[in-house]
Amino acid sequence: MATTTAALTTSSHQPPTRKILTVYWKEAKYEFLKNLRLRMYSVATIFFPLMFYVLFGLVLGRRSMGGFNPASYLIPTYGTFGVIGASLFGTAAGLAAERGLGWLQVKRASPMPTFAYFTAKIAMSMAFSAVVVLLLMLLGVTLGGVHLPLWQAAKLLGVLVAGSLPFCAMGLAIGYFAGPNSAPATINMIYLPLSFCSGLWVPIMFLPKLLQQIAEFLPAYHLSQLALGVVGAGRQESNWTHWQYLIGFTLICLGVARFGLQRDEGKLYG
Amino acid sequence: MVTTEKEASGAQERGAAAAIVARLQGVSKSYGEIQALRNVDFSLRAGELLALLGPNGAGKTTVVKLLLGLAKPNHGTVEVFGGTPAEPTVRMRVGAMLQVSRVPETLRVREHIDLFRSYYPKPLSVSEILGAAGLTEIKDRLFGDLSGGQRQRVLFALALCGDPDLLFLDEPTVGLDVESRRGLWEQIRRLVARGKTVLLTTHYLEEADALADRVVVLNQGSVVAEGTPSEIKAKTAGRRIRCISRLALEDLRQLPHVISAHQDRETVEIRTARAEPVLRALLARDPELSGIEVTSAGLEDAFLALTRDHNHNSSDSPRTKFPARGN
């Protein structure tokens, strides 16, 4: 009986930083390509916010929205709507399917750094968020006659892309609890009511009083107010309060996602 | 592979057969109520192809998961390259082909390979990987456009990316047609020829016979037999006797050398390691014995006999007990 175990020639080689960066880069690049080619994701994510904007902001928009013309007011709100969609679907749908149907296991058996898997999904979602926001602004400026100075456009883009993070965190949390095939339905059941109640479709001041009060507890409301604030259409509440809500929400979601990850490992890998 | 060869020869100098690359010792694993493995012991030696053979649900995949560090045993130890399987330094030297229900379909074959190569310090070149898995012609296709056999080959290619010393292939040919299966066998043989150590799980005895140096038979979470393919076949190379007899099934089962006995309409079917002594006993005890028919048990029957032998009291009919194919 051979009792010698082939010992590892431990040179304890630390992979060089460049090598690690390559992994993170490729993981994100292919995550992006994968979703770009997945029309269910790329078309839906970009098309719906733009369609709503054209419909309610450009074609039907007559009514003044708190002193603003709809084409201006709806860029930040549909921008928020688009960012949340790109983030939730970009993280939750892929994660739920990949962990439920075995692909994540193949990756986990490799030396892939686990963190690279998650950052790739977040980076991809942020990239799509940026595309949606840029296209909305382009439509508004060209077809809606919206006056949007460059610095304002840049700030709006920055706020909304940063604001995709809380919803990526939420997506990871959902991805750990939704079934592989039911995830898109689950996401919609959260995404659509959340968007409506936060005043992303119909401006917040046109919502019933009760919904307006509920909105103040919803992360989507706080992001939309930050975005509206950039163009001076917000409700003059403290930006810091909005950020605090979003940061708190992000932390809660990351906590839930972490719990899901550990539960999953207990079940699947424990 | 240089290190493994060195290790192997080093071990031989010390009088051992070949270095042990991976080992399970007294491993038990349960998922909630379900006991997947009971006190499993076996080791994998450098340069060999070990087939883990057993019906569906025998615990083969659990063994692979334990060896990959994707699961932890409840009892016992799992060791790979002298360390714990989940260590990054161990994972760098290991490749795995697992059963996956869905692989991202909107990436091209070469893109999947490019990504997996980036995980390893010294990956094989893209052209080597494509060649070894027979994917050169279809490297630009999207995964979603591939046939079942081609998809399996991509998963095989991903297992090769890091130029691993040790490969785990979990049911690599399940659901493949004969031609694709033989193609993949050829590719697996080439790996072994290059000195890789391979653990392959399968529920086809034929596959274990065609590829393996050594076979470990697993049934209901326990190792029921271990040996070279010919040893396993010798243990299991049984005969099937069909006849019409007045003897009760219980009495038939008590006869020496009888593995099992079943009623099949008016005939009884007896499985045995040796037909002659059983026939003599039958003729001596039942003068009205008729319709005698002796056939050699096929490989599948032999395998069945082996796993049945282990749980004799099971009253399942052989057909329902036989593992479903191509799931």
pLDDT digits 0-9 by tens, A229-246: 999 888 888 899 999 999
What is the rounded CA–CA span in Å between residue B309 and residue B291?
26
Q: What does CATH list as the number for B238-296?
A: 3.30.70
Alpha carbon of B207: minimum distance to chain A alpha carbons (Å): 23
Beta-bridge partners for B290: B244
Phi, psi torsion values for A74, nearest 5 degrees: -85, -10
- Give the residue ranges of chain B where pLDDT is below 70: 1-17, 234-237, 296-327
Taking an 8 Å Cβ-Cβ cutoff, which residues of chain A contact chain B? 2-10, 12-13, 15, 19, 22-23, 26-27, 30, 33-35, 37-38, 97-98, 101-103, 105-106, 108-112, 180, 267-270
Q: Which CATH number fits domain B2-234: 3.40.190.10, 1.10.3720.10, 3.40.50.300, 3.40.50.2300?
A: 3.40.50.300
| Closest residue of chain A to B65, computed from CA coordinates | A269
What is the rounded CA–CA span in Å between residue B121 and residue B88?
11
What is the rounded CA–CA span in Å between residue A220 and residue A211?
13
Average pLDDT across chain A, whole number: 90
Helix axes A70-88, A150-162, angle to 10 degrees: 30
Structure tokens at B317: 């009919």
A199-224: average pLDDT: 93
Chain B residues 83-122 within an 8 A CB cutoff of chain A: 83, 88-94, 96, 98-104, 106-107, 111, 114-116, 118-121
Does B126 contact chain A (CB < 8 Å)?
A: no
Quick check: B163 and B120 in contact, CB under 8 A?
A: yes
- Using CA atoms of B132, A38, A106, B226 in order, give the dihedral in degrees to the nearest 10: -70
What is the reported pLDDT for B17?
58
The owner of tokens 């038990």 is B28
A179-207: average pLDDT: 93
Task: Indicate which of A12, A20, A42, A106 best probes the interface with B, i.e. most B CBs within 10 Å of its own CB.
Answer: A106
Does B156 contact chain A (CB < 8 Å)?
A: no
What is the reported pLDDT for A5?
43
Give yes or no for residue A217 having a pLDDT over 50.
Answer: yes
What is the reported pLDDT for A67?
76
Residue-range domain boundaries for chain B: 2-234, 238-296
What is the reported pLDDT for A267?
56
Quick check: B40 and B63 in contact, CB under 8 A?
A: yes
What is the reported pLDDT for B32?
82
Of A2, A22, A103, the CB nearest to B102: A103
Alpha carbon of A34: minimum distance to chain B alpha carbons (Å): 5
